[in-house]
Amino acid sequence: MAKPRTTVEPYVWLMFSGGGVIAALTFPVLLFLLGVAIPLGWVSPPDHGHLLAVLSHPLTRLGLVVMCAMALVHAAHRLRFTLQDGLQLHKYHALLATVAYGGALAGAIAAGYVMFVVL
């Protein structure tokens, strides 16, 4: 029997799945409130002071960074395979993977920067 190869793929799938769960549980309500209901005036916008207080809590910041980072890895993994299989770009799999995960990493760093440096 051939020696099993060690790859990072299981860990990427694990993060894909974790990010998928986080996005599934948290994004619909946040997107509905912040992107649809509040802009349309169905729900009155929260006070600036209230949001600032929520964002000032370290747990909120940590939660948001984890949420953004995991969701981006999830999205990158999915998008990579969608482009590769959907548009038959197997030839460019290395480039696609680099751009997708690189983009997710850049986004995760940006999230960390916003939450822990700017705010």
Partner 1 sequence: MTDFLARLYKPKVPLLWWLSKPSYTAFVLRELSSLFVAWFVAYLLLLALAVGAGEAEYRRFLDLSANPFLIALNVVSFAFVLYHAVTFINLTPQAMVVRLRGRRVPGPLLTASIYVAWLVVSAFLAWLVVG
Residues that bind partner 1 (CB under 8 A): 17, 20-21, 23-36, 38-40, 43, 45-48, 50-52, 54-55, 60, 64, 68, 71-72, 74-79, 81-82, 86-88, 107, 110-111, 114-115, 118-119
Our CB check for partner 1 shows the closer of 57 and 95 to be: 57
C-beta of 7: minimal distance to partner 1 in Å?
19
Cβ–Cβ under 8 Å, residues 52 and 118 = no
Rounded Cα distance, 111 and 84, in Å: 27
Our CB check for partner 1 shows the closer of 31 and 62 to be: 31
Backbone angles phi, psi at 24, to 5 degrees: -65, -40
C-beta of 109: minimal distance to partner 1 in Å?
11
Q: Which residues contact 71 (CB under 8 A, 6 or more apart)?
A: 19, 22, 23, 27
C-beta of 8: minimal distance to partner 1 in Å?
20
C-beta of 28: minimal distance to partner 1 in Å?
5
What sign has the CA pseudo-torsion 59, 60, 66, 69?
negative
